[in-house]
Amino acid sequence: MKVLLFVCVSQVLAVAAYSVSTFSPLSHASATPVYTAPRAFPTSAFTSMYYMPHDQEAIPRPVVTDIEGKPFPDRLNNPHVMPSSAPTDKGVLPAPKAGASAVSPAKIHQQVSSTIRNTSMSLCDRCKKALKLGQTLAQSKPQVVPGILIQLCKEFQYKQFGKNPDINRTCELSYTAGGQGGVFTQVLSYADLSEESPDADYICSQLFYNFCPLPEPAVLSDAFLDDWFQGQRTPPAHVQGRSQRNASSSRKNLQVLWTSDIHVDGRYAVGAEAECTYGYCCHSNSFNTSTFHSYGYLTGNDTVPPQNISTSSPYWGYEGCDAPWSLVASAFEAMKHLGGQDGFDLALYTGDLVAHGQTWEESRDMVRYSESALYDMMHRSLGNTTVVAAIGNHDSSPTEHAAPHALPDGRGRQFSWDWDYVSKLWKSENWLNSRQADMVRTHYGGYSIQPFPGLRVISFNTDFWYRGNGFAFIHTANPDYSGTLRWVTDELQRAEEAHERVWIVGHVLPGWDGYSSMDRPTNLFYQIVTRFQHTIAHMFFAHSHEDTFSVFYANSNGNSSSASTETSKAVGVSHFSPSVTPLTNMNPGIRVLEVDPETYEIMDYHQYYTPLQDVQNETSTDGGLVWYHLYSARETYSNFSAAEKTGQYSAPVALENGQWPASAPLNASFWASISDEVLARPELAGLFNTYQGRNSPLSPPCNTEACARAKACFMRAGSFALGKACGSRYSTVQ
């Protein structure tokens, strides 16, 4: 959804072969089955049902109620009622700028079109000129800009929103004032397009697909950092021992559930097109052009005839689709089983509840529906366990966006409906008190909580470093225009003074390959992690749907791209959670952490999954999905003998016969050492790659030295700049 006035331009502007062992998907017979979910849908998880199929011919449709107990209508999330018009949510446009010169919309439209077609100019110059032309209109007559966007989209047949046989209709539905059109009108109006500002460069390099060169990595000045950290840029001596203690030997480890990216899709239709070339697969209006040719646009109750389906979507879910209610219910049943009789001590949810879909198929009510349904289901499944949740980029409408409070004319509060709603919802589940609920409303869905003595968990909204959020491209010279990282820093300072350890929880990953994040905010975050390295125990993100991690290394010079990636300098690790949704080419996953109750370090974690391919064509089994134990992090990655033998092991922890000591936590040094071991023993990259997609047979292999080097680079990339330096090859298994 990364489009602005100039978005239509994209359609007009026109390894080492060293072989190592190949890791194929592991046999499920060699994995340990831990739970077979019931075949029957657990109707007790809901107060009532709109529809309950006789068997598996369709997906059950539960009745979901909002925070006030009012049921959402069945047609809101129904596989047989696909939206055929844009949502009725009120659009938010910028106020006309005082003193802005009156301009002719028709003339601006003509000038933008001419600029796009002017091949004598570079792509970058055309992009910047079109932005400035658009800004004059957005600041004088903002109400006409969505209409101009629609006209330009049609004129240049912009195809971003899918392989659509009716692009004109897509344009009309996508760029309304209540949808993307309203957002991008605001970005045009509020962005600083002066020569001194990097806004245009970032918009034209990241939001507009490399029309301009990406600006050089930002460097934060000494004066900025001195002010940010109030003169204390290195950790005080009295806190430096907090991250160096070994585990407690006298107390039982805490059991912490971690899930993410459920993306429940109530519009998933059994028997729909699973291998679509248009639309979102497994929806009734998606199709594959090899078997069905539509020159119109499927809307409302229109469906593809069964004989024109190339691959039918099965009951339990499909690897190219979001999670149907059948899969979601099975996952929650598995979570309940994994918690055992005593349940979990804490649960983390790192964002993205709402299904992927066309921009006009999503709405505020769809967001509220997904939040109500899944958080209520968590509460029923996990009992008294507190859930610490983060806002995902899909958990808003228009999807992927969040506006900073600093926007003028009250526009900074346009997403308050969402923060207000989740604050009430989380409080009603008894996960927050009144003070914490107030924080949610104030900090874009972010808050901090102390679930145990000596531990503070900080959940914050990462949309402000997400490249899909148009508002993140306003005043990019300021690495914290939203104020979110200022609040996170202040919370860390309070935790440090209170002698607490901290877990940081968010959604969009700051590094890895740098695809999703932005340079300046993640560079500042890197400095924050270095400053509070002894206070921060772990960081938890998600978004990519893959099982990965990135290590942070000591860096206090304001330039994360210059960080030395020597293992001896590792100061933090960010874990990225596997998803419950199988989209794309994943197996659904659930993780359970074993946590020391005094240091709050992770001592081990266990990854579970269900192999969807085993049941996609099975309808006669007595049971439901089988959930397996995939691996233990300690058992899988503790062997550093190859790195030790080659002299590459440099962690400040003495190995025991080449193994990580049983009493040592799985801290930043442990994860940094894995990157060393991958370089010393490249076949380990193949196993890591297999687990990255949760043992999916659809994951491409990682069986070359080049792939191993790339994986090690991503493992060491905690910021956008470091991730981009690794390149993009081998970053994903999707």
Tell me the pLDDT tens digit for each residue of 335-379.
999 999 999 999 999 999 999 998 899 999 999 999 999 999 999
The tally of domains found in the chain comes to: 2
Could you tell me if residue 189 is inside a domain? Answer: yes
pLDDT at 244: 65
Is residue 520 within 8 Å of residue 259, measured between CB atoms?
Answer: no
Give the pLDDT confidence of 290-339 residue by residue, as tens digits: 999 765 556 656 788 999 999 999 999 999 999 999 999 999 999 999 99
Mean pLDDT of 650-654: 97
Could you tell me if residue 723 is inside a domain? Answer: no
Could you tell me if residue 174 is inside a domain? Answer: yes
The verdict on 196 and 92 lying in the same domain is yes
Where is the domain boundary, 207, 235, 254?
A: 207
Mean pLDDT of 704-717: 98
Could you tell me if residue 727 is inside a domain? Answer: no
Please determine, for residue 193, whether its predicted confidence score (pLDDT) is greater than 60. Answer: yes
Where is the domain boundary, 281, 313, 345?
A: 313
- Of the ranges 113-122, 351-360, 620-629, 685-694, which one carries the lowest mean pLDDT score? 620-629
Where is the domain boundary, 207, 227, 253?
A: 207
HSE on the CB side for 135, CA within 13 Å?
17
Give the pLDDT confidence of 484-536 residue by residue, as tens digits: 999 999 999 999 999 999 999 999 999 999 999 999 999 999 999 999 999 99
The verdict on 193 and 294 lying in the same domain is no
pLDDT at 230: 96
Could you tell me if residue 455 is inside a domain? Answer: no
**Omega before residue 65 within 30° of 0, cis:** no
Give the strand pairing for 589-595 and 602-609: antiparallel
The verdict on 93 and 189 lying in the same domain is yes
Long-range contacts of 525-528 (CB under 8 A, 24+ apart): 525/465, 525/485, 525/719, 526/552, 526/555, 526/560, 526/563, 526/718, 526/719, 527/220, 527/225, 527/228, 527/555, 527/556, 527/558, 527/560, 528/485, 528/488, 528/489, 528/492
The verdict on 94 and 191 lying in the same domain is yes
Residues 6+ apart with CB under 8 A from 216: none
Task: Give the pTM.
Answer: 0.94
Could you tell me if residue 2 is inside a domain? Answer: no
The verdict on 114 and 201 lying in the same domain is yes
The verdict on 99 and 184 lying in the same domain is yes
HSE on the CB side for 333, CA within 13 Å?
24
* Residue spans of beta strands (DSSP E) within 491-557: 501-508, 536-542, 548-553
pLDDT at 619: 47
Is residue 687 within 8 Å of residue 702, measured between CB atoms?
Answer: no
Q: What sign results for the dihedral spanned by CA atoms 425, 431, 432, 437?
A: negative
The verdict on 203 and 101 lying in the same domain is yes
Owning domain of residue 179: 7-14+87-207
The verdict on 200 and 275 lying in the same domain is no
Could you tell me if residue 388 is inside a domain? Answer: no
Is residue 201 within 8 Å of residue 210, measured between CB atoms?
Answer: no
Q: Look up residue 545 and give its two tokens.
A: 């749907």
Could you tell me if residue 112 is inside a domain? Answer: yes
pLDDT at 1: 36
Please determine, for residue 11, whether its predicted confidence score (pLDDT) is greater than 50. Answer: no
Beta strands across the sheet bearing 387-389: 32-38, 623-632, 602-609, 589-595, 254-259, 346-349, 387-389
